[in-house]
Amino acid sequence: MSMSITTDAPMIDADYVVYRLEEAGATLLALPGTGWSTRLRSSKLDIVHTALEAYGWTAAKVRPAVPSSEKITRMDEALGWIPLIPLDRYVLRRVVGARSLVHPLTDRHLYPWRRLGVALGADHKAIQRWHAQGIAMIVKALTAG
């Protein structure tokens, strides 16, 4: 009688690491920019509002939903992988970190390859290679231990 052992652990490869880092970046950007504070909140004392304000016809900003606690935990785990890239390879850390920032509503990268290339003074193809090297270092560290 043979028994098969199944695990729920995902296969850790470059695609998985990139997916998790981009998910973490989107979660990070979806977090509210403000939180609770002890400062006094001032209320609007103007009694008379314009018709536009009274009926809510002001321009509304579309905000992503606040991430769940599970998403925030996954974000913390994935962003904790970036320090697995050695400290002396700080440029790779910057590239991997910047590339993980994905807008939560549009799913577009905040830093496309060419923009990262301009920011770091390098060719965008070199930036892509550096990103791949950084991801490979993370995969190696995750699968080794």
pTM: 0.76
Structural domain includes residue 44: no
pLDDT along the chain (145 residues), means of 10: 57 94 96 67 50 60 86 96 96 96 94 95 96 97 87
pLDDT given at position 1? 46
Structural domain includes residue 70: yes
Structural domain includes residue 134: yes
Total structural domains in the chain?
1
pLDDT given at position 107? 92
Structural domain includes residue 6: no
Distance between CA atoms of 26 and 32, rounded to whole angstroms? 12
| Domain hosting residue 96, numbered range | 14-30+64-144
- Residue closest to 136 by CA, chosen among 78, 103, 79, 96: 96
Structural domain includes residue 55: no
Structural domain includes residue 2: no
Structural domain includes residue 137: yes
Distance between CA atoms of 98 and 109, rounded to whole angstroms? 9
Structural domain includes residue 82: yes
